[in-house]
Chains A and B, each alone.
Chain A
Amino acid sequence: MHIAEGFLPPGWAAFWYAFSLPVVAYGAYKAKKRIDEDPKSKSLLAVAGAFIFVLSALKIPSVITGSCSHPTGTGIAVVLFGPVITAFLSILALLYQALLLAHGGITTLGANTASMGIVGPFVGWLAYSAVRNRIDVKIATFVAAAIADWVTYVVTSFQLALAFPSGVGLAGVMASATKFMAIFAVTQVPLAVIEGVVAALLIGYLIQVREDVVAGVTA
């Protein structure tokens, strides 16, 4: 669940835009370069982006909290193309939801891109890089996708906590963060597991039908 329209004060909204836009622009450049160098990666890029589209459209009930949230779907993109291109693909889905669904928002687009498109996938990618040579690529994808999903909502919680501290200083921010984590991060645990499983299945199938994906996955 993204931060709703108008729910970040202007200063923070601007800050997260400044944080996200350069990464998205670099991601767009890198995506184009990748397609020019290797035209066969174009359809894979579409599949990775489409996976974000599907998963972030599904609001799934979470058994733990009795509330609903949606996965992010960034796992495939980050495993195939790395975190920078993932940022570019994520903003497409976020724009669709902000403009057509009033889900997320234009003022919070920077913050939502930072969590779902940049920091979440980046941490997922770090975890993936750490384990990929030691375990099966499907399990490594599960790890990457589940972590990218979950970290996204941890970041969202901190973004809200920074904008709405419950008191002065770090203690106030941490108190608010705990509050928002109880809503977002806890709800997200089962969804992150589901996302990891689905992403692992898709990577497994991609490797079966496209031999060159194996090379891409470990590049």
Chain B
Amino acid sequence: MKAVFIIAAIVLLVFLSQLTLSAEWTGADEQAELAISDINPHYEPWFSPIWEPPSGEIETFLFSLQAAIGALLIGYFLGYYRGIRHARNA
């Protein structure tokens, strides 16, 4: 239960920060790329990704999939450990 409250507090903080701050919320990696061209205007990336998600939607899908795979594994094993413990104590 405590965990739920803490996570809810984090989510709330994120939302509050959105309301109170007007910012671009761009990725830090994008800003770093800008900084690089600022330092060395002649630098050209010498390699581009072999495959890129065709659209932002698909990128979001693949990011969600990554999180889902991780969450699934964590949830499965936490439940499994809990079940084993319960069975042993019963």
Contact = CB atoms under 8 A, between A and B. Distances in A.
B50 to A, nearest CB: 7
A67 B40 contact: no
A209 B81 contact: yes
A101 B29 contact: no
Interface residues of B, number: 53
Interface string A46-58: 1101111111111
A164 interface: yes
Interface in B1-28: 2-3, 6-7, 10, 13-14, 17-18, 21, 23-28
Interface stretch (A16-24, A27-35, A127-135, A177-185): A177-185
A210 B88 CA distance: 12
A57 B62 CA distance: 9
Interface in A57-74: 57-63, 65-69, 73
Interface residues of A, number: 66
A51 B74 contact: yes
A52 B70 contact: yes
A54 B82 contact: no
A53 B66 contact: yes
Contacts of B49: 5, 98, 102, 105-106
Contacts of A97: 66
Nearest to B81: A209
Contacts of A46: 73, 77
B53 A57 contact: no
A4 B21 contact: no
A201 B48 contact: no
Nearest to B66: A57
Given A50-B71, A57-B66, A60-B14, A99 B32 contact: no
A57 B31 contact: no
Nearest to B73: A50
Contact of A66 (B23, B32, B35): B23
A197 interface: yes
6 contacts: A6-B46, A66-B24, A67-B24, A67-B28, A206-B78, A209-B82
Shortest 7 CB-CB contacts between residues of A and residues of B: A66-B23, A6-B45, A53-B70, A54-B70, A50-B73, A1-B29, A102-B49
